[in-house]
Structure formats: structure tokens, C-alpha cells
A and B are shown apart, each in its own frame.
Chain A
Amino acid sequence: MKSLSLFVEKDTTIHRMNPISKIIYVFAAIVIPMLIGNHASALLVALLSFMLLLWAQVFRKVIPLMGFSILILFSIVVIQGMYKEGNHTPLFTLGSIVFYQEGIWFSAEICLQVLNMLEAFSLLVLTTKPPDLIESLVSKGLSPKFGYVLSSVLQIIPQMATTMETIIDAQRSRGMKMEGNLLTRIRAFFPLIGPVVMTSLISVKERTMALEVRCFTSKRKKTFLNVQQVTLQDKIFQGIMAICVAGSLLWRFVR
């Protein structure tokens, strides 16, 4: 694995959209249902994200992520359904356990919000290459140094994994036992920490010097090889999002 990223290589309209537009979408998808504050808006947005994920042909990748959160959400539903303060209208019973309407209703809201966040973030992460995403943030003012740290971490961590393997081999080859009971395995950890830390520190120092001579600390204004296109589509989309968010704010204060 060369790079830690969830990006799925496809050629859809969503993929081609400017990363900033997608970030704005994530923001809108989370904020609008919160502002409007009812189940209908959350459901609508979740449905919209679902359709966008299908359009981008990346829905399949979301399922494992969803599977994990569904477990957690399910337990929330169960607990709130049974024990929420203010529960007094029974909805249904399972044997001797009663599930109340208020609890279920409340947890449904939480579920929808989580679902929304998950879907919106997935849309962003599955259709955008991390360097492109970070570059658009840098072009909007994110510190280039911070941007570099973010984008390099994704490739450097898998590289560190290879170094880690070498270090494990080196210690095993001096008789360190790896197989055996839990205590043995825990003890095996200690001879690894030192070399991992040292090699990382040395790599960081060498890499920093290499970056310096590639003008990393230059005070000149940066240019970009890959220009993230801001098409008319993007502008219209961003405009629509802005209007929706403004509308929801208004709704909130008028209500």
C-alpha cells in the first residue's frame, strides 16, 4: 500500500468537481438539518447524499463504513428507546421490554445526523485525491507547511511500516521471541520503540534538509502545477449551497 487514502479512481462529474465545492457540501449537509431541526430535513439531505454517492459510483465503499456505525447507532436506538427520560408512550414491546415512542423518535434524529455526516464526508473523501484536496485548501489560505504535513503523512506512514518490519526482523534475528503468550508479545514491544523513534527522527531531519534545498521555506507566493478548475458548475453549485444555508438560518430565527 503506497498511500493511505480512501480515494476511488473513477471519472464522474462529482470526481471532477472542485474540492472546495465538496467541502462546502459537507458543511451544508451537516449544518442545514441542524438549523431546520426536524427529521424531514435530515432525511431529505441523507437521501440527497445517497443519490450523489450512487452518481459518483462509490456507494459500495461506504457500506463497510456504514456497517460499523450502524452497530453503534443500533445500540443508541435500543437504549434511548427503553430508558430515555420522558418516555411514556409505548410504541411496541418485545417480550417484557417496552420501547417508547419518544426515545425512538429522539434516537432517530441522532441516527439521521450521523448518517448525514458519514455520507457527506464519504462523498468528499472517496471522490477527491488527498493532494488535490489539500492543495485547494492551501490556495485558499491554509499554511503550505501544514498542508505539506497533511499530504505527506499519508504516504510516509506506509513507508514507516516497511522500516518497522526491518526493525522487527533485526530484533528477531538477535533472538527476540515474538511467538508465545501475551507477556512475551508485550515484552517484544520494547526493543522496537527505540529504533522506530530514532529512525523516524533521523528520517525527519534528513527530509527537512531535503525540503529546505527545494525552497520549502521560500517567502515567495506559491504557484500550483495542477490548477483545480473552478467551473461554472462549481460556482453555481456553491451559490446554491450558500443560499440553502442562508435559508436555513433564516428559518431558524423566524420560527
Chain B
Amino acid sequence: MKKIIVNDLKYKYPLAQTLALKGLSFSVEAGEFIGIVGENLSGKSTLCQALVGLVPHFFKGAYGGSVVVSGIEVATSEIAELALKVGLVFQNPFTQVTGSKLTVYEEIAFGLENVGIDREEMKDQIDQALHLLDIYKFKDRNPFDLSGGQMQRMAIAGIIAMRPEILVLDEPTSQLDPQGAEEVFKAIQKLSKEGMTVIMVEHKMEKIAQYSDRVMLLHQGEIIDFDTPGKVFSRADLMGYGVNAPIFTQICKGLGAQNQTNALYPVTLDEAYAAVVKTGHE
């Protein structure tokens, strides 16, 4: 079942000279984990915004083509309605805190209150979200008292409490320390295993390779490639698109050490280990 269908999506921000997205077409199946990579200004954030309706409803601008998420056409639906199907987590943990609530528990209720969820149901959904993100122990703390990683997990909890089917994350760990980043990746992986369709933009290639079913390479608003991590990162022309392969892949390319199983270059630590051992470089 296709959760996301994008057809010839074109978009230009109001004061911009050029198109941010130049005709994207792709689809995503339910439960897939998609990694999006590309240099700065390649259109990654714009694509995230287009999946939840911020483009075009919040930013206005010139919009063409279509985006359909969970069967709903984005261009003709309100952001508030789309948010029940697809959630978006931003880079900065601080600006995702509403600031109007005094406890983490109430903070997560914010979205549910806005859509008129019944009180008892609300409490169930909040509890579930808190446990899934492993922040139940913080439920009575002030949101601003949390560390960066905890705050970002709270932001994710606030989104998934609304039970979307798709979760989009735009560089969720850029501003976190390694421990915070690790906490967030673990949480995202858990959600994915529970069946959530995940779209994640990241610069940490090793993580993208580790978690993604497929990787989308964007460059100047166009899709250059959309395939398994092995296929995308094995390309020889990545640097031309402003992207470097995961470190493990770089090493193996240098050694000419490919996976035995698929004649592609390794993209994870385990694959690299196996390939290096195979070529006898012990």
C-alpha cells in the first residue's frame, strides 16, 4: 500500500528566483524507512515541508504537481488535518517547545487538545507516546528543564501522540550531542519497527546507511537517485552532488572491497568488516 505518492512536484518560495523543487516524482510504501541526503539547499527541507502541507499553505509561493499522503491530497487539505496523518519533527528542540505548558505531560497533550480528542483517550495516547520514547519518567518536569536529547524525544512524542501513519524528521539530531543523537536514533528505529513509515533527512551518512530501506539523493531540487543504500552509496559520482559516502564505504571503495552478496560496496560497519576480511586485508 502506497503511503506517499508524489507526482511532478514543483515549488518556488515567494521571493526566490529559482525553483526549490523541480518536478519530483516518487512513492513510498507503508512501513518503509527512507533516508534523504543531499548538500545544503538541495531541497531536502522543502520536500519535508511539502509532505506535511507547510508547503504550500504556510509558505504560499508557486506550487505545481501533487502530493498524496495516506490517500489525502496535500494541496487541497489543511495543515491541521494533514497533521493527523503525517507528522514533522524539526531540527531545533527548543523552538518545538510550545512554552505554554508547565509539564512534559501537558506539553504532549497540546496537539491532542487542539483536535478535540476525548480526555480519557488523550491520556492513553500520551502515556503510550511517553513510554515509546522512554521519557515517562520526565512527565512532571518542566519542558525547558530537559537536555537536548530529551527535549527532542519529547518533540517526537508530541507528534506521534497524534497517531500519524507517517513520521518525517528534518535533521533531528543536528543540534544534539552524541548521546542525545543516539537516544533519538534508537527511538526512531523503535517506531519504525512498530510499523511507522519514516522519512529522515540527515547528514550523518553512517546512520542513514544503517537505518534506511531506501535512500533518496537530492541535488538542486531534483531526485538524482532513489534506491537501496548499497546502490546509492556505491555510486562513483557522489561528490559531484556534494555528498560523501559513509566512511565504511569510502574505505572499501579505496580497497576495492565489495560485498560478496551483491557486488556493491559495503555501507555499514558489519558489511565493511566482512568485505575487508574477504579481501584478505587482515
- Give me the interface of A with B, judged by CB distance under 8 Å: 2-3, 129, 131, 134, 144, 148, 151-153, 155-156, 159, 203, 206-227
Contacts and interface: CB of A to CB of B under 8 A. Distances in A.
Contact of B58 (A212, A223, A225): A212
Interface string B194-221: 0000000000000000000000000000
B106 interface: yes
Nearest to A151: B100
B75 interface: no
Of the four ranges (under 10, 10 to 19, 20 to 34, 35 or more), the interface on chain B belongs to: 35 or more
Q: Which 8 A-B pairs have the closest CB atoms?
A: A218-B80, A152-B99, A206-B95, A214-B111, A151-B100, A215-B114, A225-B109, A152-B100
Contacts, number: 119
Contact of A2 (B84, B142, B155): B142
Nearest to A226: B106
Interface string B75-87: 0001111011001
A203 B78 contact: no
Nearest to A129: B102
A227 B116 CA distance: 13
B83 A214 contact: yes
Nearest to B110: A214
Contact of A213 (B83, B118, B126): B83
A215 B94 contact: no
B117 interface: yes
A85 B127 CA distance: 68
A167 to B, nearest CB: 15
B98 A211 contact: yes
Contacts of B54: 209, 212-213
Interface of B: 49, 52, 54, 58, 78-81, 83-84, 87-88, 90, 92, 94-96, 98-102, 105-106, 109-119, 122-123, 126, 142, 144-145, 155, 158-159, 162
Nearest to A217: B80
A123 to B, nearest CB: 21
A220 B112 CA distance: 11
Contacts of A131: 100-102, 106
Contact of A214 (B118, B123, B158): B158
A152 B94 CA distance: 13
Contacts of B94: 159, 203
A217 B79 contact: yes
A135 B110 CA distance: 12
Nearest to A147: B100
Given A222-B113, A223-B117, A148 B100 contact: yes
A226 B142 CA distance: 16
Nearest to B109: A225
A225 B106 contact: yes
